[in-house]
Structure 1
Amino acid sequence: MYRKQLFLLSLLLMLLQTAAFAQNNKLRVEPSFWWTGMKDSNLQLMLHGNNISTMQPVFNYAGVEVKDVVKVNSPNYLFLNLNISGAKPGKFNIQLKQGNKTVHRYSYELKQRAAGSANRQGFTSSDVMYLITPDRFANGNPKNDSVKDMADKLNRNDRSGRHGGDIAGIIQNLDYIKDMGFTALWVNPVLENDQPKVSYHGYSTTDYYKVDPRFGSNEEYLELSKQAKQRDIKLVMDMVLNHIGSKHWWMDDLPTEDWLNFQDEYKTTNHRREAIQDPHASEYDYQLQTEGWFVESMPDLNQENELLATYLIQNTLWWIEYADLGGIRMDTYSYPDPEFMSEWTRRVMDEYPNFNIVGEEWSLNPAIVSYWQRGKKNYNGYVSYLPSLMDFPVQNAMVEALRDDEKSWDTGWLKLYNTLATDFLYPEPENLVVFPDNHDMDRIYTQLNQDADLTKQAIAYILTTRGIPQLYYGTEILMHNSEKGDHGIIRTDFPGGWSGDKVNAFTGKGLTKEQLDMQQYMKKLLNWRKDAKVIHTGKLTHYAPYKGVYVYFRHNGPEKVMVILNKNELPYELELEKFAPQLQGVKQTTDVISGKAYNLNQSKLALPIKAPLILELK
């Protein structure tokens, strides 16, 4: 009996050791597959496995040339630099040999690139983006709410916890998004964030090639893209190249001694973005801006490491190709190494000339923001290839203009007028992304002190000014945050996205009269804008605000739209004489919002109180 127990125990230990060896000896290859027909025929493979630097990579596939094999500080990595210019689609085995013994065998595939992939059209000024925080939009698959071996479990009672929204929930509500009139979908990061807590937002990546299982899978993300495309909606991926999560698999085995900035001594960024352009900036401030960590749970990547830089560039191309993306929103654009960001955007735009990328540079100074746009002639010679940026200066000026009174010569609408007047700083102001709010700031309804009339004017402006509009989920139903600055409340659950919700914004059930009114208001404007080409590409001419009224025209030859934003709470008549050059020959017009007809063949126009007018001049 004793011998039998001893035998069984020995067998169990052997099986456990074998399993542990197999786990430790597992080979990871990234990217796991690639495509033929890419403009850049170079391909870098990152191989990771136990002590593989002592092994010899061997394979034989026509058209695939090994340029070099790079070993690094960690013995568990090999980097293969290949040229695949002559290769055809197909599979081949990569073997890692120790002498004559094959220790690892990996079946690698070069896929056929989709026809026309290089010429894909990115988001443009004809689009309007709907921004979604996936954990807070809709729970389409409750089975993935919590995942075994992932620490951050479902907790809807915690404003900073995971609430269960997922990719399936977005797919199930694509018809709502389409019917509202949106044509592009920016989804906050969906890649794995296997952090111990506050992982729902997605900005602490722990695997660059894997969708977080609590959101779904790579295949579901691809399905989202396909389903969106069938509804003429482009998918915009939110990416983070500045930092990773502290539980990224690299952190257990960093490839090199310089994979991270301040790898041996954690330092926090100073957030002094101006130091990059400042001709008087100290080297200390510049370095801390580009190399300091956001927080200790977000290690800062060193993009000056060429192996890492190539890895990040290829990862971007992989997701564009795999998920058939229609654009990228790049988080914290000015925080990584500036030269790397220049090369990253160059490589992406070289591969996809009609693509679009919007970068986040959260500065209220147009001179700072414009520095990063493609075509800008910078004093220090810095060359950028970034097509678009988030227009934070206009967002801030719009809110201040709406909140301020009109009693002084430099308050109210003049703040917005003056900010738009700095468009000469941008090479392509029409390609900036304009927005009333986003996932990182108070809801626009909150910023405007829960004034629905002012919120309507903000939406009217965003949807008719130059640029590419972006609206945050829930703005259409006046979602607000009771505690200002609290991200967990700003990103609150969309009503109707969870089984049992008493209010359902997708159907309108339980919404207040004011919420339904705003939803219909936005739906009307968004669907009108779809076909309003003069808004997409027309020139903007604005007139200096006067007595609480701001007027501008979008015009493209015979096509004209007159936008009147009126903050007056008492009846006001707008004198039309100064607008004569734009109104010549126009006698009657109709307001897009109300459908009401207006007579322009007179000296004054009676304006609706504290409301916008959008007049098509035909």
Structure 2
Amino acid sequence: MKKNFLFVILLVLLFGCSPVYAATVIKKVAPAFWWAGMKNPELQILLYGEHIASAEVSISSEDITLQEVVKQENPNYLIVYLNISEAAPQTFNMILKQGKKQTVIPYELKERKPDSSQIEGFNSSDVLYLIMPDRFANGDSSNDIVPGMLEARVDRNDSFARHGGDFKGIEKHLDYIADLGVTSIWLNPIQENDMKEGSYHGYAITDYYQADRRFGNNEEFRNLVDQAHAKGMKVVMDMIFNHCGSENYLYKDMPSKDWFNFKGNYVQTSFKTATQLDPYASDYEKKIAVDGWFSQVMPDFNQRNRHVATYLIQSSIWWIEYAGINGIRQDTHPYANFDMMAHWCKAVNEEYPKFNIVGETWLGSNVLISYWQKDSKLTYPKNTYLPTVMDFPLMEHMNKAFDEETTDWNGGLCRLYEYLSQDIVFADPMNLLTFLDNHDTSRFYRSEADTKNLNRYKQALVFLLTTRGIPQIYYGTEILMAADKTNGDGALRCDFPGGWQNDTHNYFDAANRTPLQNEAFSYLQKLLQWRKGNEVIAKGKLKHFAPSKGIYAYERKQGDKSVVVFLNGTDREQTISLDTYREILPDTSAYNVLEDKKVELGKDLTLPGRGIYLLSF
């Protein structure tokens, strides 16, 4: 008793007569800061801390309105909504009062950069270079293993493990990428993936507001974007709204069970997302496809919950404003709730009118993917507001067309002609992302042992870079990296040779590449540098002819300038009469881009087997 009395006396002497109450520890404030002057006046702030739901919330600012405080089933969460329409840049306090205990949370509204709303998105004048950060280059080995993170190993011999690539590695090779001739970099997810295994690919996000520390911190990512911009390149960021990682605090300690589909219990998706537009689909099929989980370690968000929707939408806008990215590629777009995703696309476009978003629409036909593009007649009177969709069916056709012998009625290049002739189904064919391969598919180039020469590679690249749409090149295509999906996804995402200090080969350096690799690199580089700033290819109209004698011809035209392509889809030399094609041949001579010389266009044109003419008028 005497000891207790002495302790009280000591407290009074130290702190005065008022009792002391420790403040609550706030584990998360999301987002950590925001900006004044945004077009949307509403700001959601998610607070996560031990038993904070009973707190009364107030704010110290005079020009910010406390709009709503929402409690969740879980007492560890509070969701605060503010109206900042009249707010100037400032730091104010959010005050959580629980009885005599008071917690003060300083919060900053930053000043927006001038013209930040006018960020220029990627478009058909661009070529995207897709990089998986963990597999491209390791520029800082000190962050390979971060203490406290769950996957604490790096093993380059294990295709499923982390290999150590990071922001610094990409930054060190920006000159290489720019010299190749691409104009934009698309990065697979860079946000935190603190999962026990398989975290290298990035598609199981555990914190939507933090870069994965094994790549670098948020500031280092922003610096990478700035450095890319300084070299004339845009940056596209991969995002995932359909699901998160099972180690995400929002799942491990759910605000409420309705934050996730099936009340947070694992139910596998059918992957049959065509049900979203199937007029005959059962209610069961629709629900299991959209609400089902991508995998057991990737719980599926319930985007019908308005708090979930706002949290995800704000996270994307935060990265655009913070890092100045030029575009977003949205993973598994048709797996998420239609109305929420449409609301997100519209919200981003209203804040950033020149921005672009491409949705992953991995579906089997042009009709199915056309449904997801903004202003599609198939969705009327609804609208996805998604500007760009991924043209997976064209990828499938290209992977077959340049193998097959073209006849005058089917196969080979006829596939491309017939597919493009159906572009009427698209609201905007120029806003389709076109590609030969990506991180989820077998690489287009198989192996040197399977190809006698680069004819297949060269024809495919000419077509990809001169047809309608926004081309994407997968990292390593320029040096003939090869992989087959039958060997697993990890094999599709192998390391770029030379990205690690002790690599046997450094293919970033032409001196270390094989003659065939240098031929491929130089060919692609020539095409990319020629395409850069070429308004005819970026904006020109497309006109094509049905293949005759195995030869496919088409034109891109803008004003009085045009580009004409002839592709021989057979292994035989072919001679064709040019009389058929006079409407796309404005002169009797043209510049042959591939050979850097003038070519005369008389009565006939002869193309060697698998030959190419790329003519500029």
With normalisation by structure 1, the TM-score equals 0.94
Q: CA deviation at 1:452?
A: 2.3
C-alpha distance in 2 between matches for 1:604 and 1:364: 39
Question: What is the 5 A alignment of 1:317-396?
Answer: 317-378=317-378, 381-396=381-396
> Is the partner of 2:565 in helix, strand or coil?
strand
C-alpha distance in 2 between matches for 1:247 and 1:447: 38
C-alpha distance in 1 between matches for 2:395 and 2:22: 54
Q: Which residue is equivalent to 1:595?
A: 596
C-alpha distance in 1 between matches for 2:412 and 2:574: 17
User: How has the CA–CA distance of structure 1 residues 23 and 435 changed in structure 2, closer, same or farther, with 3 Å as cutoff?
Assistant: farther
> Is the partner of 1:445 in helix, strand or coil?
coil
> Is the partner of 2:278 in helix, strand or coil?
coil
Question: What is the 5 A alignment of 1:390-409?
Answer: 390-407=390-407, 409=409
C-alpha distance in 2 between matches for 1:612 and 1:207: 49
C-alpha distance in 2 between matches for 1:297 and 1:316: 22
Is the contact made by 1:398 and 1:458 (CA closer than 8 Å) also made in structure 2? yes
Q: Which residue is equivalent to 1:198?
A: 198
Is the contact made by 2:23 and 2:101 (CA closer than 8 Å) also made in structure 1? no
> CA offsets, 1:317-369, max 9 Å, x none?
10110010100000000001111111110111111111100000101211111
Is the contact made by 2:408 and 2:548 (CA closer than 8 Å) also made in structure 1? no
Is the contact made by 1:238 and 1:329 (CA closer than 8 Å) also made in structure 2? yes
Q: Which residue is equivalent to 1:6?
A: none
Is the contact made by 1:64 and 1:84 (CA closer than 8 Å) also made in structure 2? yes
C-alpha distance in 2 between matches for 1:99 and 1:24: 12
Of 444-453 and 137-146, more deviation after overlay is shown by 444-453
User: How has the CA–CA distance of structure 1 residues 308 and 69 changed in structure 2, closer, same or farther, with 3 Å as cutoff?
Assistant: same
Q: Which residue is equivalent to 2:134?
A: 135
Q: Which residue is equivalent to 2:298?
A: 298
> Is the partner of 1:579 in helix, strand or coil?
helix
**Count of residues paired in the alignment:** 594
C-alpha distance in 1 between matches for 2:398 and 2:372: 22
C-alpha distance in 1 between matches for 2:44 and 2:447: 47
One-letter code aligned to 2:403: R
C-alpha distance in 2 between matches for 1:157 and 1:485: 14
C-alpha distance in 1 between matches for 2:460 and 2:358: 21
Q: CA deviation at 1:407?
A: 4.5
C-alpha distance in 2 between matches for 1:181 and 1:267: 45
> CA offsets, 1:551-596, max 9 Å, x none?
1000112101011112332322122111111213x12222211213
Q: CA deviation at 1:166?
A: 0.5
C-alpha distance in 1 between matches for 2:227 and 2:360: 27
> CA offsets, 1:382-406, max 9 Å, x none?
2110100111121111222112222
One-letter code aligned to 1:546: S
% same residue: 44
C-alpha distance in 1 between matches for 2:159 and 2:462: 31
1:461 to 460, 463, 469: 463
C-alpha distance in 1 between matches for 2:555 and 2:202: 40
Is the contact made by 1:171 and 1:224 (CA closer than 8 Å) also made in structure 2? yes
1:576 to 578, 593, 597: 578
Is the contact made by 2:239 and 2:331 (CA closer than 8 Å) also made in structure 1? yes
Is the contact made by 2:479 and 2:507 (CA closer than 8 Å) also made in structure 1? yes
C-alpha distance in 2 between matches for 1:142 and 1:568: 49
4+ aligned runs moved over 6 Å, structure 1:
21-24
User: How has the CA–CA distance of structure 1 residues 168 and 485 changed in structure 2, closer, same or farther, with 3 Å as cutoff?
Assistant: same
Is the contact made by 1:442 and 1:485 (CA closer than 8 Å) also made in structure 2? no
One-letter code aligned to 1:568: T
> Is the partner of 2:235 in helix, strand or coil?
strand
C-alpha distance in 1 between matches for 2:374 and 2:129: 24
> CA offsets, 1:154-208, max 9 Å, x none?
1111011111110110011101111111111100001111111111000000000
Q: Which residue is equivalent to 1:80?
A: 80
Is the contact made by 1:374 and 1:383 (CA closer than 8 Å) also made in structure 2? yes
C-alpha distance in 2 between matches for 1:241 and 1:608: 49
One-letter code aligned to 2:561: E
Q: Which residue is equivalent to 2:125?
A: 126
User: How has the CA–CA distance of structure 1 residues 404 and 447 changed in structure 2, closer, same or farther, with 3 Å as cutoff?
Assistant: farther
Q: Which residue is equivalent to 2:501?
A: 499
Q: Which residue is equivalent to 2:8?
A: none
Is the contact made by 1:138 and 1:496 (CA closer than 8 Å) also made in structure 2? yes
C-alpha distance in 2 between matches for 1:387 and 1:254: 33
Q: Which residue is equivalent to 2:42?
A: 42
Of 359-368 and 402-411, more deviation after overlay is shown by 402-411
Q: Which residue is equivalent to 1:470?
A: 472
Is the contact made by 1:140 and 1:165 (CA closer than 8 Å) also made in structure 2? yes
Q: Which residue is equivalent to 2:185?
A: 185
Q: CA deviation at 1:609?
A: 3.1
Is the contact made by 2:59 and 2:95 (CA closer than 8 Å) also made in structure 1? yes
Is the contact made by 1:543 and 1:550 (CA closer than 8 Å) also made in structure 2? yes
Q: Which residue is equivalent to 1:549?
A: 551
User: How has the CA–CA distance of structure 1 residues 160 and 319 changed in structure 2, closer, same or farther, with 3 Å as cutoff?
Assistant: same
Q: Which residue is equivalent to 2:532?
A: 530
User: How has the CA–CA distance of structure 1 residues 176 and 391 changed in structure 2, closer, same or farther, with 3 Å as cutoff?
Assistant: same
Is the contact made by 1:399 and 1:447 (CA closer than 8 Å) also made in structure 2? no
One-letter code aligned to 2:140: N
> Is the partner of 2:445 in helix, strand or coil?
helix
> CA offsets, 1:286-315, max 9 Å, x none?
001110011101100000011110000111
C-alpha distance in 1 between matches for 2:25 and 2:533: 57
1:615 paired with 2:615, answer yes
Question: What is the 5 A alignment of 1:442-457?
Answer: 442-446=442-446, 450=451, 452-457=454-459
2:522 to 517, 520, 523: 520
1:436 paired with 2:436, answer yes
> CA offsets, 1:480-527, max 9 Å, x none?
015635211111110110102222121123211110000011111101
C-alpha distance in 1 between matches for 2:160 and 2:589: 53
Is the contact made by 1:44 and 1:82 (CA closer than 8 Å) also made in structure 2? yes
> CA offsets, 1:420-467, max 9 Å, x none?
111111111111111111100000102995462101111111110111
> Is the partner of 2:66 in helix, strand or coil?
strand
Q: CA deviation at 1:24?
A: 8.4
C-alpha distance in 1 between matches for 2:222 and 2:577: 54
> CA offsets, 1:110-156, max 9 Å, x none?
00111111122100111111000001100000111111122322111
Q: Which residue is equivalent to 2:104?
A: 105
C-alpha distance in 2 between matches for 1:245 and 1:32: 21
Is the contact made by 2:156 and 2:162 (CA closer than 8 Å) also made in structure 1? yes
C-alpha distance in 2 between matches for 1:45 and 1:509: 53
Of 181-190 and 23-32, more deviation after overlay is shown by 23-32
Q: CA deviation at 1:540?
A: 0.4
Is the contact made by 2:130 and 2:474 (CA closer than 8 Å) also made in structure 1? yes
> Is the partner of 2:201 in helix, strand or coil?
coil
